[in-house]
Every structure is written in structure tokens, then in C-alpha cells.
């Protein structure tokens, strides 16, 4: 909810203040629409549209340019429009409007039970209070409903904490020495050390040490002066670096997969358009 | 009767909000605090109140208390309140781009494209019922046209969305090159750990250490084993510690919000 | 030499983009299917789906939450494809749902619908779509207690959910044999926090996530809150290898009539090829990034040594 006042200087983008670029891009958009109508949205047109969209977005990699900005704004518009209409058709209509309006007033044939639940109107009325944020005199109503929902979420946080974290706490307390042999730790192929009829679970001990050291690193209620807390905190920092490196490695894999899929689309499009020919 | 019920409901609601609006800023603040407290108390009570055998609305025996059977209808009603927030995002975007368009600021053509894209998708999506409307009857060709247009626009969105995400791969590659400089021990640890994970996940890394027999004592040094060891015995306890810390902090924050103890420009603004 | 070292450390990023793109395009044009070593977490996931009591006559269903958009279809889409193939090969009844992602509500049923034609699955009897549900705390509070009451109508035909044969006897979360979360976000934690504690016995949750989310989930794998995990494209590739093996066995035994068609997904434009083919390119990309990291560090190391030598010479 930002205000752009006339006194604020506009952000400068390549070609943003160029009339020629504005006209060219808008004319191209119109041409694309006319071409789509002419081809009746056949598969070739959709493929070409996909390639144009991909290359336009990738153009930012070379440098900032008006084509990228133009397509970026089209993307934001399409995403916003899709979100709005999807929620309306898939959720608001079947779960609010149809149950609320009596069957005699709703003329389309929909095989749904219910109807006439007039009290659902309060869902809209209370929901409309969110929009009072745009009216400064009434904006306290927005805080009223927002804080109510935050209170409701806060009440559920205890439940969430017990559901999510309590098992983590119990899983952390494992005896380093027990009378049971456990399967190879985490697939690393390392077994427990067998001493008489007891088993020494090396990796559980290491896991507890790493856990405590990481806690020590983030424990700021006490100053890190004493050796009892300073050394574990230092070790915790090193363990944290190892974990961050692991996160980076998996992130690289995740991000590259997206690029690979996109480039594969371009490859398939090239083969389809140039090898098989337009349909 | 339905129309009357709706009209009365609207009148009652507007009347109540108008009455509350007459309160002083201090009064409005206390009403908000009370509403927040009651909303949170509902779930807290339902969770902590002792349970016993009760009957659910279908007559089945379940463990619960006097609030358990009301959880479902209350939760569904809260969802019906929250669905309208989608409008907030649309309005905010429209204000920003609308101002840019009306005042002919630099980049106005981008804002025009935004509006054209958003409005066309909403209109086509509504008429074609998200591309599922049956093309029958007097307007068969028109409906078919809207379905085809919807699918074209949707395909366009899918391509733009995927490509935006694909850009991240390039950025992470250039970030890895620029930022991964081993200047300290910590940076060295980070890099070694990242290399182990990156090689352990792909067949090249597996091939590099494939010469080590899988059942030998040295099998630990195969990249896929190193990866599993690192993720399960170093990454796992660190992530657990972070998760526990964040959850405890979240709990403290939840208490402060529930009891309206939180301060700040958003929480204490009175108008 | 100094100039070269400085250039090595501060290469224009556009060269990195170009090299990465060329390597990926070459490996995509000429790719080889990966022969993966299956991760333990993926094997556990596979075994859990195998053992889930959701077959015909067992009275339960598997719930598949498809919470992904076009941006992550390479990872989540391939995961979904392998999972649905597994469910259909083992005759498990399942329901697709999308809690909070409009595009996911389209992708999940589209993938299931296309594969259903290959495996002879019937909508309403063997699988069903719960459609889009709003992602709020309220949903997680009411869904476990009363599934038909929360869902009301299906996502494909907009009919009352209780009118479908698959929903006979499905009342609450205890009638769900397993929950699978295919997501690009941290949505699985909502299921672990609010839904799993309400189930008896404890609801097994399988997590099919993007690579970015994988590292955060290991504590939950260790505590048993997650029964298994498919991390990113690697997870999809491993799972695909297991399912392909099962497919071969089923075809040899005559339980499956048709050979699996990798191009079965036609409803979704530009759906990715098999994950194992994409892993070959992934491997090449990792090598490129590692090489660039090494170049940068070699440049740094050499320039430091050079600086030390020059400083020593000046002192002398």
C-alpha cells in the first residue's frame, strides 16, 4: 500500500520514459492478440507465445531492458487476475454464495445441498472490515478484525508448538549407551560400537553435542564470557556453517532444476517448430 | 424472507460498527484488546480443558469437551471471513499502477499492460468458468472461444511463472562464484560442506568415488555416504536447534499478541 | 599475471550465465538416463506408500496435497507423476487436494487424470479430487474432525462429496492411511502441527519437496513425524527408478496391460521429461558451478601469494 506522489521522482528504467518504446511494446501486444485470434489459439501459436515469454524474461540476464519490464508487468497482471478469479469460482461461489442464496433465487442447475443460510452474509460484512484500511477514519476497524484473527492464531500456537516441537524434544533425548543395537545410522553405513552386552551409539552422542553447541551459540540471555559457554558457542558456529553449506548445496540443486526444465521446453519448442513444422 | 434477513443483518452490523465508532480512541483500543483476548481464549480453552467422551454431530463417540463440537463450524466461518483478503492485494496493485497510468509517469505502458492482463484474465476466467464451461447452446462458438482464450492465457502465465523462477538458477551460480571465497575457517567449512552435498546428490559425485567398494571400511568416504552422514548427523541437530529456538520465540510472541502486550507503530496506533 | 588473476576473481557474471546455458543445452540435447543410488529417505517413502492400507476394501484413502505452481513443476511435477504411477500400480485409492495454491488445484488432478487413462483408474471410485481449499488455520482445525463437512463438493464435477463411492466410510483423519505433501513451500509443518496430533494411530506424512526445503526437514525425518522424503529432482529421480522397476515387474506378471508412455501427461503444457534424464543435466550444472567456485578461489589464493611476495620484495 505505497503512495506514489507526484513529487517523488519515478524510478528510472531503460526505455521507461521513451515514447517510442511505449508505442512499440503496446503495438506488439496488439499484434500478438490479433495473431492469436487469427490462428484461433492453435498449438503453434501457444508454443510461439511460450518461447517469446521465456526469451523476454531471460533478456534481463544480459541487461535491464524495457521488454523484460513489459512482460514482467503482464505476468503480475495475469497472476493477480488468476488468483482473484480462481478464488471466486472455486471457493467463494461454492462455499459462500451458493449455500447462502436460496435455491429459488439461484437459477443455475447446481447439485449442491443447502441454500438459504442467510447468516453467511456476516462473513462478507466482517471481511469488508479489512478494506477500511484505505479509509483513514475507519482504519481502526481493520485493526479490530486483524487483531482478532491474530489472537485466534496465537491461541492455536500452543497447539502447534506441542504438535510440532514436542516430538523434536523427545527425539533429542537418546541414551548414548543402551542394550539395543540400532540400524546403521542415517544410511551412512556406520554401526554402533559393541562393548560386551552394551551398545555405544556414537552418532547419537555426536548429534546431542552438536545440538547443545548450537543452542549455546544462540543463547544470548547470558554473556559469552565463561569458557563453559564460549567454547560450545564457538563450536556451534562451526556446526552452523556446515549446516548452511548443506542448505546451499540443496538450494543449488533446487534452483538448477527449474532452469533445466525451462531450457528443455525451449529445446522441445525448437524441435517442434523447425523439425516438425507449424500446425 | 431471505432478502429481509440479509437487509436486517446488514443494518444490525452497520449499526453496531457505527456505535463502536462513536467510542473514544481508548474505548476502541479496549474493545480490540477484548476481542483479541476472547478469540485466543477460545482455542486455548478448547485445547487445555479436560476431555471426556462426547458425541459428535453425527452421533459418533469422540474424546472432547464442551467446545470441541463448535470448532468445525467456527473454523469454517473464519475461513469465509479471510477469503475476502484477496481483494486487498488486487486493490493495492491497482492503486499503484493506476496512479502511474493516470499521471502518465515513466513506465505507464507497463501499468497499462498490467491492467489489460488482469482484467482480461478475470473476464475470460469468469465467462469460461476457468476453462470448464460446456460449449453448448445458442452461444456455443463464443463459449468455445472463451475456453480457448482462457487456456492460451493460462499457458502464457505458466511460461512466465516458470521462467521467473528459472532466473534464480543463474543468480545462484553467479552468487556462488562471487561469495564463495575461502578467507576464514568458517567459509572453508561452508564450502566443503556445500561441495559434499552438491557432489553427493548427482551421479558425477557417485562416479568419482565408485572405486571404493560399498562394503569396505572405507565406504564411508563415498560421496553418497558422506552426504547422508552430513545431513543426518550435522545438519539435522543444527536444524533441530534452530527450529526449537524459533518455536519457543514464536510462543513468546503469541502470548504477547494474545495479551496485547506487543508495542510498536502498528500495534499502538490510535486513530 | 596480476591482471589475469584479477580477471579470474571478478569475471563478468554474463560469462557464467552463458557457460551454464551452453552446458545445459548440450546435455539436454544429448542426455542419458541417470542410474541413481536411492536415498534412504526416498526408500522409506516408497515403502510407506506400499504398506499404506488404502487398497480396495481396506476402507482408507491416501491424501495427496499438490501445493505447487508452474515455477517448480520440474521437481514437484515429476514427483507427482512418479507417486501417482506408484499409487495406480499398487491399486491404492487416493484423493488430490490443494490447500492454498490455485495452480496446484489444476496440476494435481490433471496429472492424475492423464495417468488414470493409462492405468484404468475411475474417477469417483478409485480416485477423487477435493479441489482447492483456502489455506487458513481454520481449515486445519476443522478438516481432521470432519472431512466431508469441510470439503462439501468435489473439485472436478462440483457434486456433493458423499455421493462418490470412494468416500463411503471416510469421515475424519483416522480414515486417511497416509498424507503426502508435494509442495514448494513449508506447508507440511501445518499438517504436522495441527493434523497429525489429532490422528490415532499417528498419520504417516510423506514429504515431496523442492531442493531448497529439503535440509530443514531432516529433524522431522529423524523424529518420525515424516515417514519419508523426496528431496527435489534427486528424490523424484530415485522414486522414478523404484517405480520403473515395479512397472517392469507388473508388466512381466501381466498385471498391467500397457507399457508406460512417458508422454502420458498431455493436459499440462510443456510438462518435463522423466526426472532421470534431467538429472544428467543437473550433474553437468553442478560441475560447472564447482569449477567456477574453484576458479574464484584459485584466483584469490594466487593473488594473495603474489601480494605477499611483492610486500617481501619491497621490504628487502
β-partners of residue C179 are: C63, C205
Phi-psi region of A14 (alpha: psi -120 to 50; beta: other; left: phi over 0): beta
pLDDT of residue C5: 67
- pLDDT band for position A108 (cuts 50, 70, 90): low
Q: What nine digits make up the cell of C235?
A: 528424490
Question: pLDDT, tens digit, for every residue of C37-68?
Answer: 899 999 999 999 999 999 988 999 999 999 99
Q: How many CB pairs under 8 A join A and C?
A: 146
A203/B169 touch (CB, cutoff 8 Å), yes or no = no
Same domain assignment for residues C295 and C230: no
Asked if A258 and C72 touch (Cβ cutoff 8 Å), the reply is: yes
pLDDT digit string, tens, across residues B84-105: 988 999 999 999 999 999 998 8
pLDDT at A7: 42
Per-residue model confidence as pLDDT tens digits over B190-225: 999 999 999 999 988 988 888 888 888 888 888 988
What percent of chain B is predicted at pLDDT more than 70? 97
Which positions ≥6 away from C112 have C-beta within 8 Å? C84, C94, C96, C121, C127, C129
With 90 as the cut, is the pLDDT of residue C134 above it?
A: no
Judge if C213 and C303 occupy the same domain: no
Query: Residues C193, C283: one domain?
Result: no
Is the pTM higher than 0.90? no
Average pLDDT of the residues in C102-117: 93
Tell me the shortest Cα–Cα distance from C28 to chain A, in angstroms.
6
Q: Is B251 a residue whose pLDDT tops 80? A: yes
Q: Indicate whether C35 belongs to any domain.
A: no
Output the pLDDT for position C309. Answer: 83
* Total number of domains constituting chain A: 2
Q: Is any Cβ of chain C less than 8 angstroms from the Cβ of A127?
A: no
Confirm or reject contact between A160 and chain C (CB < 8 A). Answer: yes
C-beta atoms surrounding B155 within 10 Å: 22
Number of compact structural domains in chain C = 2
**pLDDT score of C285:** 94
Residue A61 lies in a domain: yes
Min distance A265 CA to chain C CA atoms (Å): 6
Are the beta carbons of A50 and C286 separated by less than 8 Å?
Answer: no
User: How much is the average pLDDT of C172-194?
Assistant: 94
Residues C172 and C148 sit within 8 Å (Cβ to Cβ) = no
Per-residue pLDDT reduced to its tens digit, A187-228: 444 556 777 778 888 778 888 999 999 999 988 888 878 888
At A189 the pLDDT is 43
CA distance A66 to A15: 5
Last residue of a domain, one of A108, A125, A149: A108
**Average pLDDT taken over every residue of chain C:** 90
Burial class (CB in 10 A: 0-12, 13-18, 19+), B77: middle
A68-78: average pLDDT: 94
What does the mean pLDDT of chain A come to?
Answer: 82
CB contact under 8 Å between C158 and A110, yes or no, is yes
Alpha-carbon span B118 to B90, nearest angstrom: 9
Residue of C nearest to B162 (CA): C71
Report pLDDT for A30.
83
Chain B contact partners (≥3 CB pairs within 8 A): A, C
C75 neighbors C282 (Cβ within 8 angstroms): no
On the question of pLDDT at A17 being above 90, the answer is: no
CA B161 to chain centre: 17
The pLDDT of residue C33 is above 90: no
Domain boundary among A108, A133, A165: A108
- A27 located within any domain: yes
Put simply, the answer to whether B160 touches A70 (Cβ < 8 Å) is: no
- Across the interface, which of B57, B204, B224 has its CB nearest the CB of C287? B204
Query: C126-142: string of b/e by CB count within 10 Å (b at 16+)?
Result: bbbbbbbbbbbbbbbbb
CB contact under 8 Å between C286 and B232, yes or no, is no
| Cα dihedral B86, B92, B95, B97 sign | negative
Q: Nearest CA of chain A to the CA of C56: how many Å? A: 28
Residues C131 and C265 placed together within one structural domain of the fold: yes
First to last CA, chain C: 22
Whether C183 shows a pLDDT value over 80: the answer reads yes
Nearest to A151 among B81, B169, B257 (CB): B257
The per-residue pLDDT for range C189-247, each reduced to its tens digit, is 999 999 999 898 999 999 999 999 999 999 999 999 999 999 999 999 999 999 999 99
Tens-place pLDDT, residues B10-42: 999 999 999 999 989 888 888 888 988 998 898
Subunits that touch chain A (at least 3 Cβ pairs < 8 angstroms)? B, C
pLDDT of residue C311: 84
C219 vs B162: CB contact, 8 Å cut-off? no
B243 contacts A216 by C-beta, under 8 angstroms: no
Span B152-163, average pLDDT? 91
Judged by CB atoms within 8 Å, which residues 24-83 of A form the interface with C? 46, 50, 61-62, 82-83
- In this model, does residue B271 exceed pLDDT 90? no
Residue B155 contacts residue A49 (beta carbons within 8 Å): yes
pLDDT the model gives residue A16? 67
The secondary structure element, H or E, covering residue C299 is helix C275-315
Find the closest chain B residue to A12 by CA distance: B106
Domain assignment present for A12? no
Cα–Cα dist A113/B116, whole Å? 38
Asked if C214 and C231 count as a contact pair (C-beta separation under 8 A), the reply is yes
Q: What is the mean pLDDT of residues C8-27?
A: 89
Query: Which of A73, A90, A108 is the endpoint of a domain?
Result: A108
Residue C8: which domain range? 2-30+278-315
DSSP state of A104: T
A85, part of any domain: yes
* pLDDT of A51 above 90: yes
- Residue-averaged pLDDT of chain B: 88
Minimal CA–CA distance to B191: which of C39, C292, C282, C23? Answer: C292
Compare all CA atoms of chain B with the CA of A91 and give the residue at the minimum distance.
Answer: B83
CB contacts of C293 in chain B (<8 Å) are 176-177, 180, 191, 195
Question: What is the mean pLDDT of the segment spanning C253-277?
Answer: 83
**C-alpha distance from residue A134 to each of A77, A138, A140, B22, B26 (Å):** 21, 8, 11, 19, 22
Distance (Å) of CA B112 to CA B12, B102, B268: 41, 10, 38
Q: What is the three-class DSSP state of C129?
A: strand
Confidence of residue A157 (pLDDT cuts 50, 70, 90): confident
The CA distance from C161 to C174, in Å, is: 18
How high is the pLDDT of residue B270? 47
Domain regions of chain B by residue span: 2-74, 106-179, 185-258
A110: pLDDT strictly greater than 60: no
Cα C113 versus chain centre, distance: 18
Residue A277 is predicted with a pLDDT of 56
**pLDDT average, residue stretch C105-130:** 94
Q: Which one has a higher pLDDT value, C315 or A233?
A: A233
* pLDDT, tens only, C135-165: 888 888 889 988 998 888 898 888 899 999 9
Inter-chain residue contact C278 with A61, CB threshold 8 Å:
no
Pick the residue from chain C with its C-alpha nearest to A157. Answer: C193
Nearest chain A residue to C215, by CA: A247
Cα A85 to Cα C105: distance, rounded to the nearest angstrom? 14
Mean pLDDT of B232-237: 92
Helix (H) or strand (E) holding C216: none
Q: What is the CATH number of the domain that holds C233?
A: 3.40.50
Same domain, C194 and C112: yes
Domain housing A27:
18-108
Give A5's pLDDT tier (boundaries 50, 70, 90).
very low
Cβ pairs A/B, distance under 8 A? 433
d(CA B265, CA B269): 6
Q: What pLDDT sits at residue C200?
A: 86
Amino acid at each position: 500500500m505505497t503512495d506514489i506522489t507526484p513529487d517523488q521522482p519515478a524510478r528510472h528504467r531503460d526505455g521507461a520514459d521513451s515514447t517510442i518504446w511505449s508505442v512499440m511494446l503496446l503495438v506488439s501486444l496488439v499484434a500478438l492478440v490479433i495473431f492469436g485470434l487469427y490462428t484461433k489459439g492453435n498449438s503453434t501459436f501457444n508454443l510461439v507465445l511460450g518461447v517469446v515469454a521465456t526469451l523476454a524474461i531471460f533478456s534481463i540476464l544480459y541487461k535491464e531492458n524495457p521488454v523484460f519490464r513489459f512482460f514482467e508487468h503482464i505476468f503480475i497482471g495475469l497472476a493477480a487476475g488468476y488468483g482473484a478469479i480462481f478464488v471466486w469460482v472455486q471457493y467463494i461461489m461454492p462455499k459462500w454464495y451458493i449455500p447462502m442464496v436460496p435455491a429459488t433465487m439461484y437459477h443455475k442447475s447446481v447439485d449442491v445441498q443447502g441454500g438459504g443460510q442467510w447468516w453467511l452474509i456476516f462473513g462478507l460484512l466482517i471481511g469488508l472490515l479489512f478494506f477500511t484500511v484505505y479509509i483513514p477514519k475507519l482504519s481502526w476497524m481493520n485493526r479490530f478484525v486483524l487483531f482478532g484473527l491474530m489472537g485466534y492464531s496465537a491461541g492455536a500456537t500452543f497447539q502447534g508448538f506441542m504438535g510440532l516441537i514436542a516430538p523434536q524434544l523427545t527425539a533429542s533425548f537418546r541414551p548414548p549407551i543402551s542394550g539395543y543395537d540400532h540400524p546403521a545410522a542415517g544410511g551412512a553405513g556406520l554401526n554402533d560400537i559393541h562393548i560386551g552386552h552394551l551398545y555405544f551409539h556414537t552418532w547419537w552422542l555426536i548429534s546431542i553435542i552438536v545440538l547443545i553447541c548450537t543452542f549455546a551459540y544462540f543463547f544470548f540471555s547470558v554473556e559469552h564470557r565463561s569458557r563453559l559457554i564460549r567454547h560450545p558457542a564457538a563450536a556451534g558456529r562451526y556446526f552452523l556453517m556446515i549446516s548452511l553449506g548443506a542448505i546451499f548445496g540443496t538450494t543449488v540443486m533446487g534452483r538448477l532444476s527449474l532452469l533445466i526444465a525451462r531450457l528443455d521446453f525451449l529445446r522441445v519448442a525448437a524441435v517442434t517448430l523447425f523439425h516438425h513444422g507449424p500446425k | 424472507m431471505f432478502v429481509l434477513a440479509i437487509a436486517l443483518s446488514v443494518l444490525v452490523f452497520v449499526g453496531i460498527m457505527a456505535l463502536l465508532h462513536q467510542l473514544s480512541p481508548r474505548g476502541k483500543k479496549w474493545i480490540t484488546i477484548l476481542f483479541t483476548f476472547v478469540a485466543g481464549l477460545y482455542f486455548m480453552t478448547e485445547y487445555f480443558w479436560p476431555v471426556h467422551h462426547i458425541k459428535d454431530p453425527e452421533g459418533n463417540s469422540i474424546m472432547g469437551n464442551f467446545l470441541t463440537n463448535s470448532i468445525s463450524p467456527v473454523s469454517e466461518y473464519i475461513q469465509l471471513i479471510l477469503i475476502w483478503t484477496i481483494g486487498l492485494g488486487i486493490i493495492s496493485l491497482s492503486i499503484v499502477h493506476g496512479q502511474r497510468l493516470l499521471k502518465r509517469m515513466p513506465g505507464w505502458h507497463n501499468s497499462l499492460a498490467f491492467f489489460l492482463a488482469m482484467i482480461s484474465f478475470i473476464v475470460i476466467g469468469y465467462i469460461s468458468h476457468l476453462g470448464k464451461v460446456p460449449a453448448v447452446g445458442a452461444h456455443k462458438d463464443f463459449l468455445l472461444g472463451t475456453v480457448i482464450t482462457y487456456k492460451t492465457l493460462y499457458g502464457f502465465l505458466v511460461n512466465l511463472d516458470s521462467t521467473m523462477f528459472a532466473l534464480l538458477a543463474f543468480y545462484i551460480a553467479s552468487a556462488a562464484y562471487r561469495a564463495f571465497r575461502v578467507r576464514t575457517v568458517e567459509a572453508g567449512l561452508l564450502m566443503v560442506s556445500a561441495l559434499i552435498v552438491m557432489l553427493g546428490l548427482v551421479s558425477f559425485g557417485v562416479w568419482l568415488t565408485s572405486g571404493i567398494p560399498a562394503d569396505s571400511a572405507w565406504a564411508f568416504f563415498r560421496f553418497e555416504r558422506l552426504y547422508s552422514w552430513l545431513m543426518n548427523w550435522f545438519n539435522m541437530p543444527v536444524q533441530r536447534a534452530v527450529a526449537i529456538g524459533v518455536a519457543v520465540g514464536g510462543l513468546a510472541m503469541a502470548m504477547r499478541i494474545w495479551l496485547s502486550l506487543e508495542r510498536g507503530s502498528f500495534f499502538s496506533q490510535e486513530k | 599475471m596480476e591482471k589475469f588473476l584479477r580477471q579470474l576473481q571478478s569475471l563478468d557474471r554474463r560469462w557464467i550465465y552463458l557457460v551454464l546455458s551452453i552446458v545445459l543445452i548440450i546435455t539436454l540435447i544429448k542426455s542419458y538416463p541417470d542410474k541413481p543410488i536411492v536415498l534412504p529417505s526416498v526408500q522409506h517413502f516408497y515403502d510407506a506408500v506400499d504398506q499404506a492400507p488404502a487398497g480396495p476394501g481396506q476402507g482408507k484413502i491416501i491424501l495427496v496435497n499438490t501445493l505447487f505452481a508452474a515455477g517448480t513443476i520440474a521437481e514437484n511435477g515429476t514427483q507427482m507423476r512418479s507417486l501417482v504411477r506408484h499409487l495406480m500400480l499398487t491399486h491404492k485409492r487416493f484423493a488430490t487436494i490443494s490447500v492454498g495454491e490455485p495452480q496446484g488445484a489444476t496440476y494435481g488432478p490433471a496429472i492424475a487424470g492423464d495417468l488414470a487413462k493409462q492405468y484404468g483408474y475411475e474417477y469417483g471410485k478409485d480416485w477423487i479430487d477435493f479441489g482447492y481449499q483456502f489455506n487458513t488455520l481454520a481449515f486445519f482445525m476443522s478438516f481432521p474432525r470432519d472431512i466431508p463437512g469441510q470439503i462439501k463438493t468435489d473439485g472436478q464435477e462440483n457434486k456433493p462429496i458423499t455421493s462418490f463411492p470412494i468416500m463411503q466410510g471416510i469421515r475424519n483423519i483416522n480414515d486417511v492411511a497416509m498424507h503426502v505433501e508435494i509442495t514448494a513451500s513449508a506447508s507440511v509443518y501445518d499438517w504436522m502441527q495441527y493434523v497429525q496430533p489429532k490422528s490415532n494411530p499417528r498419520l504417516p506424512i510423506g514429504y515431496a519437496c523442492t531442493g531448497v526445503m529439503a535440509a530443514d526437514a531432516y529433524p522431522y525425518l529423524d523424529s518420525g513425524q515424516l515417514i519419508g522424503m523426496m528431496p527435489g529432482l534427486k528424490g523424484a529421480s530415485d522414486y522414478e527408478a523404484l517405480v520403473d522397476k515395479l512397472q517392469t515387474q507388473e508388466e512381466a506378471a501381466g498385471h498391467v496391460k500397457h507399457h508406460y508412455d512417458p508422454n502420458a501427461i498431455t493436459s499440462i503444457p510443456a510438462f518435463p521429461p522423466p526426472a532421470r534424464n534431467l538429472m544428467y543435466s543437473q550433474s553437468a550444472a553442478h560441475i560447472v558451478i564447482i569449477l567456477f567456485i574453484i576458479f574464484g578461489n584459485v584466483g584469490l589464493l594466487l593473488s594473495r601469494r603474489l601480494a605477499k611476495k611483492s610486500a617481501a620484495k619491497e621490504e628487502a
